[in-house]
Amino acid sequence: MKKKTLLYLKMIAFVVILVILDQISKFVATANLMGKSKYIVIKGLLSFNYLEGGNKGAAWGIFSGKILMFVIITIIAIVIISIFMRNITGIMCNEGKSATLMVLQYTFGMLMAGAVGNLIDRVVNGSVVDFICFEFIDFPIFNVADCYVTVSCVLIVVMCLLKLKEEDFNKIFTIKKNY
């Protein structure tokens, strides 16, 4: 099997596993928390609190009820992320693997999994299932897919600023085919 094909298959498997974990967490939260009071995990710090049809928008409820807009934007984002991942795979196959590029590849995979996980909720339920609640700050309830998106975005910014070579940056973040 070609090296590129193997890398693509590994990334698809990674994304699928993360999406499955997200969906399982939402299923378990719905089955165990819906209609019940919050479950304290660590008093004053973390609880699980099912938010009944709560998130019909983006973070903090912005653009609430605009499901079709979110579906379209998410599909566009997934296509763009796929292009960046294809570009990283091309660099790794043609110029050799580097730890930075491999971490960046998996980080984009995590971003895609978060987008797909919340997209599934929006299409199937009309809203996103949220259940993780920080008790120590006034912060919106969120879910595992939101964690994927947040962590991956922070990592992408840090890696682009501190670890990525300029020529690799230019090859990755272009829409035209580099390889």
Task: Report, as residue numbers or ranges, the catalytic residues.
Answer: 130, 146
Number of C-beta neighbours around residue 104 at 10 A = 26
Helix (H) or strand (E) holding 32: helix 3-33
Q: From its phi and psi, is residue 44 left (phi > 0), alpha (psi between -120 and 50) or beta? A: left
Q: Alpha-carbon distance 158 to 81, whole Å? A: 17
